[in-house]
């Protein structure tokens, strides 16, 4: 009877620990679903989660303003695949978000672009 009690108590403690870790992981995740076009860089940082830094990985000046490319990267555990790197690129024009997505998504879209000439 004592062994049964210890076994049940062990499973209960393990279950509580696993649930606590899941909640901690959820709060550490990136949140791209909170983004919207036109947000400032400060609003983006707040929306994505201040626990993961936004890295500016490129910039270029054009006649109508400056484009900066930011990157968010995080690692997450996916069942059956192990630890996977999750990255998002964010494009800011004059400190306003104009585009974002995963790098691999843009390659598929780039393959669909056709040049159209208007005369």
Give the 3-state secondary structure of 55-84: EEEEEEEECCEEEEEEEEEEEEEECCCEEE
The DSSP symbol for 49 reads -
The count of C-alpha atoms lying within 13 angstroms of the C-alpha of 91, restricted to the half-sphere facing its C-beta, is 13
pLDDT digits 0-9 by tens, 6-51: 777 666 667 665 554 544 444 457 788 888 999 999 999 998 888 8
Q: What is the pLDDT of residue 42?
A: 93
Alpha carbon distance 96, 103 (integer Å) = 20
Q: Whole-structure pTM over 0.75, yes or no?
A: no
Give the chain's domain count.
1
pLDDT digits 0-9 by tens, 61-85: 989 899 999 998 877 777 777 777 7
Q: Is residue 54 part of a domain?
A: yes
Of residues 115 and 75, more confidently modeled = 75
Q: Is residue 86 part of a domain?
A: yes
**Phi-psi region at 96: left, alpha or beta (left = phi > 0; alpha = psi -120 to 50):** beta
Residues 6+ apart with CB under 8 A from 82: none
Whichever domain contains 68, its CATH number is: 3.30.1450.10
* Structural domain boundaries enclosing 106: 31-110
Q: Is residue 67 part of a domain?
A: yes
Residue 54 near residue 90 (C-beta atoms within 8 A) = yes
Q: Is residue 117 part of a domain?
A: no
Could you count the other beta carbons within 10 Å of the beta carbon of residue 59? 11
**In the predicted model, is pLDDT for residue 115 greater than 50?**
no
């Amino acid at each position: 009877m004592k062994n049964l009690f210890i076994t049940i108590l062990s499973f209960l403690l393990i279950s509580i620990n696993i649930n606590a870790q899941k909640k901690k992981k959820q709060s550490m995740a990136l949140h791209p679903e909170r983004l919207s076009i036109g947000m400032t860089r400060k609003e983006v940082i707040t929306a994505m989660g201040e626990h993961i830094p936004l890295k500016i990985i490129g910039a270029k000046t054009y006649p109508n303003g400056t484009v900066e490319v930011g990157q968010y990267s995080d690692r997450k555990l996916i069942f059956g695949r192990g630890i996977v790197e999750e990255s998002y690129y964010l494009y800011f024009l004059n400190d306003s978000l104009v585009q974002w997505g995963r790098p691999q998504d843009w390659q598929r879209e780039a393959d669909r672009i056709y040049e159209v000439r208007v005369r």
